[in-house]
Amino acid sequence: MAFSFSSSSNVVLILPVLIIASLVFASASKIYNDIDITWGDGRGQILNNGELLTLSLDRTSGSGFQSKNEYLFGKIDMEIKLIPGNSAGTVTAYFLCSQGSAWDEIDFEFLGNLSGDPYILHTNVFTQGKGNREQQFYLWFDPTADFHTYTILWNPHRVLFAVDNIPIREFKNLEAMGVPFPKNQQMRIYSSLWNADDWATRGGLIKIDWSQAPFTASYRNFKANACVWSNGVSSCDTNSSPFRLKTNYWFSQQLDTISQERLLWVQKNYMIYNYCDDVKRFPQGLPPECYLSN
């Protein structure tokens, strides 16, 4: 079976289908069972009997939500439909984050743009309060026309970012070579829609057109195949269940040959910034993982 992708640049990929899915699927529940709207004074809403969540931004405020649970490793999926039309100056952030001054964080950020121009998908990985590991991509579809699935797979060995089951970035655990990796701090899922027109679109040159407000992003089908952390105990305690061998294959998942080909396709055709290529930014030398075999 083949799967074909195309883009405005006429790049076409034909590869066998890879389904990145759990051996036991986490069923989608009502979103209010897993998510709390935490700020925005009514600009965040749960609609359609719990099937849909929306965040909105106007001149007064943006809005945001967080997961009820904290996780220490997991495969987290969310379907998102981004702000249509002129979204310049807005940022829709969707990320895992821990607490404290030496926090860990795994980021998707969607940088708005003028009508007709592509969104920029900005990714980053923070460990112990330090980031500077940005990679940015265009997408091979219009993310405002329909919902698409954005996945963070986080296990002790790697962080994988995927879009519609297509891997776009891998950050491996290279602690043995001196590269910190996020593996000791539990994290919640957060999302926010906010005004970032001081930097988000062309470095802040293009400001938000408030005549287009309110700006709205939509979310549905949150799924967490994950280790829930509560009171210092993980739900994935292997002393009480054979989870690694059965329901939670993601705990040791890695990219197979087809996945690696897809990753290379995305990075060749859609990556627009990679911190490991930015030698001017790191005059004392690139971060060590940039020199290591990935």
Where in the sequence numbering do the catalytic residues fall? 105, 109
In angstroms, rounded to a whole number, what is the distance separating the alpha carbons of residues 21 and 149?
A: 12
Cis peptide before 143 (omega within 30 of 0): no
Query: Alpha-carbon Rg of the chain, whole angstroms?
Result: 19
The set of residues, in sequence order, having a beta carbon less than 8 Å from that of 136 and lying 6+ positions away, is 120, 121, 122, 123, 271, 272, 273
Nearest to 25 by CA among 274, 280, 193, 225: 225
Count the Cβ atoms, other than its own, within 10 Å of residue 170.
18
- Strands, E assignment, the chain: 2-5, 13-16, 35-39, 44-47, 52-57, 63-67, 70-81, 90-97, 105-111, 120-126, 135-137, 148-155, 158-163, 166-172, 188-195, 215-230, 233-234, 271-274
Burial of 188 (0-12, 13-18, 19+ CB in 10 A): middle
Q: Tokens for 112?
A: 């708005």
Pairing of the two strands 52-57 and 35-39: unpaired
